[in-house]
Amino acid sequence: MKIVIQRVKRAQVSIDQQLHSSISQGLLLLVGVGPDDSKEDMDYAVRKIVNMRIFSDAEGKMNLSIKDIAGEILSISQFTLHADTKKGNRPAFVKAAPPEMASNFYDAFNLALQQEVPTRTGIFGADMQVELVNDGPVTIILDTKNR
């Protein structure tokens, strides 16, 4: 799994010009699923995301997790995180999981997150417009294959 984690003051996703989901303070996740991703990758990602201390404490140090601040997660599927840009000018997406596998994996990932933190989502495969106010900015890339 490749996940871009953005600490946000607020974020929302719209589909067909209609608001689909929104959160206040929390994390916006852009989630890319690869063909060899496993339950072990999912469990690792969930554990890291909900416990990562990237929110500021009273002294301004990044010392608090999303659980500590009672934050929310907005999770968006993003197969383009697996783009291969080595040849030519058009990215290839052969390193992304096939749609059916990726959709099921993404759904299971979001259910696992929901057990820990309030989680909202986009719609897998939809043309989505994502808006956010990045907090910090703090943006972290989590690749479960590089632990």
114 a catalytic residue: no
CA-CA distance, 56 to 120, in Å (whole number)?
23
Q: Degrees (nearest 5) of the Cα angle 13, 23, 26?
A: 120
Cβ proximity of 21 and 30 under 8 Å: no
Q: To 10 degrees, the CA torsion angle through 86, 88, 93, 95?
A: -30
Residue 78 is a catalytic residue: yes
Choose, from 6, 12, 55, 79, the residue flagged as catalytic. Answer: 79
Which residue in 6, 12, 78, 144 is the catalytic one? 78
79 is catalytic: yes
Which residue is listed with tokens 């057990």?
115
Strands 26-32 and 72-77: parallel
* Beta pairing class for 119-121 and 72-77: parallel
117 CB-side CA count, 13 A: 31
* Residues marked as catalytic: 78-80
